[in-house]
Amino acid sequence: MTESAWMRWPSREALGREGLSEPRRLLAWAVRALVLGMLLWGVFTSSHLHAWGAVGAGAGVLVTALVSWAFFRTTLAHRLWPSLTLVTVLLGVAVAAQAAGLRVPALVIWCGCGVAALERLPLAAALPVTSVALAAYAAVNNDEWLTTAATVVGMALAGYVLRLDAEARGNAQRLLAQERAARAAETESAALAERARIAREIHDVLAHSLSAQLVHLEAARLLIEGGADRDKILERVVAARGMARGGLAETRQALSALRGEMSPLEDFLGELVATASGADVTVSGDRRPLPAEASQAVRRVAQEALTNVRKHAPGAKVHIRLEYAEHQVTLDVRDSGGSPGELTGSGAGYGLLGMRERAELLGGSLDAGPGEEGFVVTLKVPV
């Protein structure tokens, strides 16, 4: 046994009452009542005590109860010297009781001190106290030496077993507290992750919708500055209004996705290319429902890629390919290239960066760059 083990207190969880079952609480109170009853019985059945002697002995019992309660409180607070002082007072009370002819109360106090010291004090302090208490018990007890020795050993073992049991209960309480803290942290982390997911959904919907509107409104501004026909300007304004309506529909769709009410991915891509001229979609592999995060990533990348084609290569043909593999889904968006649009320089270019971050959060990847003809965006998401 190491030096730290000799000087280590039983934990506060072990010394406290938290975690005690109702039967054990009742048993503890029964033991206290039995000890108190033995003390009172030993006092009031002594034939040599007169009235005032009985009153003094009763006061001694009260003092013993108060000091015992104080000893339990100081040991719970891990205060060594006050605890040793109190247990010394109890041993002194036992000596006084023996001197007054109250043999039974003295034996009860000595046994109680020996057991309580082993249960509640550091071993380096408990062993001397227990040795003194049980030695006094053995010296006063007039039973056979074998019976006395067995009683002393039994009391020492009882105190140590109570100590081990209390430590086991204290460890269980600490583990339970740690588990509760871990669950609380996990719940908080899940809530923060869900908030982040909702924030990403709202940001991606608004970013796509507003970016598309910006394309048409900026074009309208350029047409007005260039003195273009009213019909051309009106066409751009109407297109921006359509994108606003589309953004509202996408917002509603994102809210539905957050509620778990998403339409099939293939239907979404079909509706997406139907609103874009010169775009088509093909689907290969075994179609199956995807996790919400993976499905939303595919939808947002497809939207962002089409928006970039309108902005940087207007009039280019776009081919979208969705491939279901065993462990991942791949989205490939290719355009045929074309002349840079008049809005090529508008926007900050954060759309694909945001999509790449979303893919990496899911353990996937997003590659974007020039292809054989135009621009290629490839998203791979594990499922």
- Res 76 pLDDT > 50: yes
**Predicted confidence band at 27 (pLDDT cuts at 50, 70, 90)?**
low
* Nearest C-alpha neighbor of 170 from the set 57, 26, 20, 305: 20
> Residue 278: inside a domain, yes or no?
yes
> Residue 101: inside a domain, yes or no?
yes
- Res 72 pLDDT > 70: yes
Q: How is residue 193 written in tokens?
A: 């992750």
Cα end-to-end span (Å), the chain: 54
Q: Residue 52: its pLDDT value, please?
A: 53
- Res 34 pLDDT > 80: no
Domain stop point among 119, 142, 165: 142
> Residue 246: inside a domain, yes or no?
no
What CATH code is carried by the domain that includes residue 348?
3.30.565.10
- Res 358 pLDDT > 80: no
Question: Taking residues 273-292, what's their average pLDDT?
Answer: 83
Full residue range of the structural domain in which residue 332 is found: 264-383
Q: Residue 380: its pLDDT value, please?
A: 92
Question: Taking residues 172-181, what's their average pLDDT?
Answer: 84
* Nearest C-alpha neighbor of 322 from the set 356, 348, 288, 346: 288
**Predicted confidence band at 63 (pLDDT cuts at 50, 70, 90)?**
confident
**Predicted confidence band at 33 (pLDDT cuts at 50, 70, 90)?**
low
Q: Residue 45: its pLDDT value, please?
A: 59
> Residue 17: inside a domain, yes or no?
yes
> Residue 234: inside a domain, yes or no?
no
> Residue 14: inside a domain, yes or no?
yes
Number of domains in the chain: 2
Contacts of 281 (CB under 8 A, 6+ apart): 266, 269, 270, 272, 273, 319, 320, 321, 322
Q: Residue 323: its pLDDT value, please?
A: 92
| Percentage of residues of the chain with pLDDT beyond 70 | 77
> Residue 377: inside a domain, yes or no?
yes
Q: How is residue 256 written in tokens?
A: 């539905």
Tokens 């908030």 identify what position? Answer: 195
> Residue 303: inside a domain, yes or no?
yes
pLDDT digits (tens, 9 = 90+) for 78-117: 898 999 999 999 888 888 888 877 777 787 888 888 888 8
Domain stop point among 96, 125, 142: 142
Domain stop point among 127, 142, 157: 142
